[in-house]
Amino acid sequence: MTKIEKIFDFLDQKFPNAHCELNYSKDYELLIAVVLSAQATDKSVNLVTKKLFETYPTLLSLASSHPEDIEKIIHSVGLSKTKSKNVVSLSKELIDRFDGKVPSSRLDLMSLPGVGRKTANVVRIEYFKIPEIPVDTHVERVSKRLGLAKEGDDVLEVENKLRRKIPKERLIKAHHQLIFFGRYLCKSQNPLCKECPLKDLCKVYKKLALKSK
């Protein structure tokens, strides 16, 4: 069994229904939720987007709003000054440049305020079901721990390595499973190594075991 098969056999058993945990009902709501999720948990984003999309129920109402008013609602997710400006600007640009529809092209998405490569890729896989492997903090950490990427690799190198190693047809599921694995088991601090059957592949576990000898 290859390393990839071993990892995803386990993840298929452990997280068969891994999915995006951001709440949304419209394309622009997903885009805004992903923009707000930078350095914030999905749970904290869901709390503020509920109020945000109730207060401003259309893209036009968001585009016509004042960043200071948005900031009051999204304050708890952090970086709220920048994020509130981006929410208003990207809403305006979606209306002005894209007829009010979130574009599927990565370049078009990345031309919007506050939208980087990871955000664009999340929208592409979640809304448009285009095979991508967005690399967030969880995906980067667990990929390096499991030896799918090297410690010194930057985010784009990790993405390219995962894209080469994981079969295209399971990239979307793999993305969600790696996030769940990092979020609930292979945590940044205090990973639950006792429950993990991937110890023999893990660089961190080997180092911890050597230290404790």
What string of H, E and C letters represents the secondary structure of 145-191?
A: HCCCCCCCCCHHHHHHHHHHHCCHHHHHHHHHHHHHHHHHCCCCCCC
Q: Does 198 bind ligand SF4 (CB under 6 A)?
A: yes
Which residue, 72 or 199, has its beta carbon nearer to ligand SF4?
199
Location of structure tokens 């990239």: 171
Which residues are annotated as catalytic? 118, 136
> Please, what is the minimum distance in Å from the beta carbon of residue 187 to ligand SF4?
8
Print the binding letters for residues 27-56 with ligand SF4: x by CB under 6 A, - otherwise.
Answer: ------------------------------
Site for ligand SF4 in 128-187 (CB under 6 A): 145-146, 185-186
Q: Both tokens of residue 38?
A: 């930078």
The CA distance from 185 to 163, in Å, is 23
> Please, what is the minimum distance in Å from the beta carbon of residue 178 to ligand SF4?
11
Of 33-41, 52-60, 132-140, 202-210: span binding ligand SF4 (CB under 6 A)? 202-210
Return the amino acid letter for 109: L
Region label for 3, one of left (φ > 0), alpha (ψ between -120 and 50) or beta (otherwise): alpha
Contact residues for ligand SF4, defined by CB under 6 A? 145-146, 185-186, 191-193, 196, 198-199, 202, 204-205
